[in-house]
Structure 1
């Protein structure tokens, strides 16, 4: 029997962890739950992991909107998150810190960042996280932003890239939960769009230009068909049930759109966002409906938090003996790496290259064979990581940047130094891939152009 898990979902964090955790306790009480009953909390971007004032200079927000927030208290150890907290990045982030954890890692004890893109397991649940927002002009560019960021890089660093999405599209097994900051493209048509556009008329203006929502998030959602998808960014609560089609060009075909709205829908809205996106989905992905929930940011009279029970559509009886189904003495599941995702990262050397080449991806069955690079990489992962008991994500958080001190204004207007993160180094060593964001490796190569592409 598939376990029923209790989770909480928060829209945008905006550096307000104290408010979120306080509201979370009250939300649990309203359900008759205790905070300890929760398996985890999801925060859908704009988390703002600001360790000190220099991190503020790496956030794409006007100077008068920058605030230190309360994350630094959790980073320093003064406070600890009362529930396991899973985080993706948004467009208002301390990118200096998140860039250290390209493959994911602990931002603070009990607060885990899923990385630029990432897949992990928690008991029967398989979760994909997509950080940042979609901006078409940067989508095909490599990741090469390094500290200190110029005025363009401070924005481009959080733009979603094809080189990351291409790895997710290599997944062949189903996903239970998808998390992104901006909403997947076209999701608005599967909920009460009439009320949505009445409350937010400027949303309809974006729809007219087919600029509303994330095309890569839609692509991933259509490919993997998770049972649940959670987002923030739009600062409004919205629910939808996305009915999937084998041909994504038909995704809006059977929807009843009022005549007054049909005139606002461009023809491009009725087709897949990227060429080749109508190819066959992975045969193991059989779910047909994705339950979407978008939430607001913290504040009075805002719908920014929801607690609910979820179950898995990816779990099978064979999974019952898998390492990620083991429970702690307290009866809880713990975070584990995902074998298939590790194999994809290993086969691409983590995505670290010195030149970007657009990926060639086939979504059909023919590329899966016993002799394929992906299959060999999975065999390696199972022999060298799973068999050695290394799938469980270690609790190896370490502080690298100085802790916030309100009395220390030294270099407060400068961007921080680039800190090599020991978690990223340990992850790359375990997987035997290059650490593309290692300061030392970049120096050894003698190149300023080491990028993820």
Structure 2
């Protein structure tokens, strides 16, 4: 059945400027000849400040705090003219969005996607994830809870692995993906040279693996939506990402569409057994076809020839780089912890590992986050909760700068040994008999499990994702675009009759039920449950889908209810936006009703006594420190007193309205 296009407006960052956004969209739609806009999608930094106290939970320096105009929509003074959905960014009223972890209305006609979500809008199936990437917080629980410490303000919006794990269980096609920051390495599928010229520092960040969200890229590669929208970097950028090594060719992008969207899939590449194409090979095939200069021979022969050339080229560049390092009197230490190049004569760090990795593509980038690793990233600030690391030193020999223990800086290193050999410290210091009496921390680490193979489900068939990032209002680039989007997802169970409304997604509801028990809140010392793998989760999800079908779908309860209610006081002009007071935590009726619908525990519920105890756990001096948005030092202003962890980790046993009083 043919499905008409949906009139969608995608917006970059919001930054509390809803009046202007809706006004500009209205003018642009009229010029385009649209009599209506079906859906507005905002890519984060929405800044849903209900009152001035919410500003105490906004990660923005105090001099940049502004109330914005969202509060008029929250109070009911205004109503959004178009149905609007948004994901969370890094400049949000984090306490407000925390109330709606599973998603919910922040005002009439404005819907927050939650930490991660999949919803439907008529024929469109939309997946979204909130927050930005910081590897050192990725594998932690959502331990931040009101009242926030200063460091909590800068971690509460970091993407967490459990939320991403849920998205990676989706096995059917989606139409739109949404994130705040860009998926990792997306820049190389568009005009990256123009981007690097326009945005200072982007090229260096890209080369060092600091540009983009590694988790968002994994979700994109899994879900393969027709479109992916983002914001965060305050510039317009378009790209087209092929999947499964397909060839593409240039076509006319169409009216008012990004030029880089002017591509289409030509043919899939069928690879010989045990042959894995490289990114260079994929780029070569794509470029050769678009330029009309395709190499002679079969597709497989062209890939094999180019792959052989690539291997020789990499080996040549590797040897050239190593020769240069030796001429400059740099040597590589034999250690598996904090690997850097050291200058042998002075011991100073000369070239960081990420620079080495960019020059030598075959060397693993230690600064890039391994999504299959259980260790925190070396990227950014150290983690508040440190994981134990292996304790080892290299075998002694000549010519290599010394050892590093537990990521030390190497200041006391002495010339050591063969960079190809490494021996456990306990083997050199104690006998086998004594080693068994040492604490567990001295034991060698268990062998690392091989990463699970990533297999695309058969129902996800899309071969080309079109990416678009946009600016913010009143900046240099375009901050919104009007798009007429046709769905590619399965349409057998969707409504084709406008006006459309937001609906739950059956598969996502099942996934939410499976992972409900794994959600941990408010306890920094807790551990997130281990990833059991898709094979273990799949039968449970399929069983829960049957439950959703019987208890929700067949009862006609798949429409997301219009159940917006105000959970916090409205804005009053007497509030001081520059010196806000840390608010108490407010229970949200929508979250309670969602948990009742799925018959899962509402872990966000705290009764009035529990909320008061938590609020009083911060001394006045610490509370004043938490109000400032200028302190970016992790670990400063540590909270004293009782944190109410006994309540935070467990939530309230019960369902539905009873849990939201």
Given the two structures, how large is their TM-score scaled by the length of structure 2?
0.62
State the Cα deviation string for residues 51-90 of structure 1 (Å, max 9, x = none).
0000011010100001000000000000000000001000
Stretch moving more, 299-308 or 385-394: 299-308
State whether structure 2 residue 458 is matched by structure 1 residue 283.
Answer: yes
Q: CA deviation at 1:410?
A: 11
2:20 and 2:32 map into 1 onto residues whose CA distance is 19
Deviates more, 1:249-258 or 1:151-160: 249-258
Q: Distance in 1 between matches of 2:578 and 2:240?
A: 49
1:68–1:335 distance in 2 versus 1, CA, 3 Å: same
Over 3 Å counting, the alpha-carbon distance change for 1:54 and 1:266 in structure 2 is farther
- Secondary structure at the residue paired with 2:282? coil
- 2:206, 2:115 → 1: CA distance? 26
Deviation, 1:6, is: 0.7
Deviations 1:250-291 (A, max 9, x none): 4564226999xx96685558x995343751111111101100
Distance 2:464 2:70 in 1: 36
Tell me: CA distance 1:136–1:417, structure 2 relative to 1, closer, same or farther (3 Å). Answer: same
CA separation in 1, counterparts of 2:582 and 2:360? 43
Of residues 416, 430, 433 in structure 1, which corresponds to 2:600? 433
Alpha carbons 1:240, 1:293 under 8 Å: kept: yes
CA distance in 1, matches of 2:224, 2:276: 12
Counterpart pick for 1:397 among 556, 564, 577: 564
The equivalent residue for 1:315 is: 490
**Preserved contact between residue 50 and residue 570 of structure 2 (Cα < 8 Å):** yes
SS at match of 1:325: coil
- Deviation, 1:357, is 3.5
Q: How does 1:111-190 map to 2 (within 5 A)?
A: 111-190=110-189
User: Paired residue for 1:420?
Assistant: 587
After the TM superposition, which residues 220-299 of structure 1 pair with which residues of structure 2 at under 5 Å, given as runs? 220-245=219-244, 250-251=278-279, 253-255=281-283, 273-275=370-372, 276=451, 278-299=453-474
1:301 positional shift? 4.6
Any conservation in 2 of the 1:245–1:251 contact (CA below 8 Å)? Answer: no
* 1:325 and 2:495 aligned: yes
Structure 1 residues 99 and 440: alpha-carbon distance in aligned structure 2, compared to 1, 3 A threshold: same
2:46 matched residue in structure 1: 47
**Where does residue 347 of structure 1 map in the other structure?**
514
- Give, in whole Å, the separation in 1 of the partners of 2:146 and 2:98: 9
Give the stretch that moved more between structures: 402-411 or 170-179: 402-411
Structure of higher CA gyration radius: 2
SS in 2 for 1:348: helix
Map of 2:574 onto structure 1: 407
Matches of 2:592 and 2:224 in 1, distance apart?
32
Looking at structure 2, the residues matched to 340 and 54 of structure 1 have their Cα atoms a distance apart, in angstroms, of 37
User: How far 1:23 moved relative to its partner?
Assistant: 0.9
8 Å CA contact 1:336–1:391 kept in 2: the answer is: yes
Confirm whether residue 71 of structure 1 aligns to residue 241 of structure 2. Answer: no
* d(CA) in 2 for partners of 1:401, 1:286: 44
Matching of residue 211 in structure 1 with residue 382 in structure 2: no
Check 1:253–1:102 CA distance in 2 against 1; reply closer, same or farther (3 A cut). farther
2:20 and 2:277 map into 1 onto residues whose CA distance is 42
Name the count of aligned residue pairs. Answer: 437
Greater Cα shift, 292-301 or 86-95: 292-301
Q: For the structure 1 residues 149 and 232, does the alpha-carbon distance in structure 2 shift closer, same or farther, using more than 3 Å as the test?
A: same
- Does the CA contact (< 8 Å) of 2:139 and 2:528 recur in 1? no
CA deviations 1:177-220 (Å, max 9, x no partner) are 00000000011000001100111130111112111100000000
Shift of 1:377: 0.6
1:447 aligns with 2:618: no
1:49·1:71 contact (CA, 8 Å) conserved in 2? yes
Q: 1:106 to 1:278 in 2, by over 3 A?
A: same
- Report the TM-score, using the length of structure 1 for normalisation: 0.89
Give the distance between the partners of 1:23 and 1:410, measured in 2 at CA: 27
Measure the CA separation in 1 of the matches of 2:232 and 2:26.
Answer: 23
- Distance apart, 1:138 and its partner CA: 0.2
Q: Aligned equivalents of 1:411 and 1:241: distance in 2?
A: 43
Cα offsets for 1:128-183 (capped at 9, x unmatched): 11100010000000112110100111111100000111111111111110000000
Distance between the aligned counterparts of 2:82 and 2:605, measured in 1?
Answer: 31
Segments of structure 1 that go 5 or more residues without pairing to the other structure are none
> 1: distance between equivalents of 2:598 and 2:570?
30
What value does the CA root-mean-square deviation take over the aligned residues? 2.9
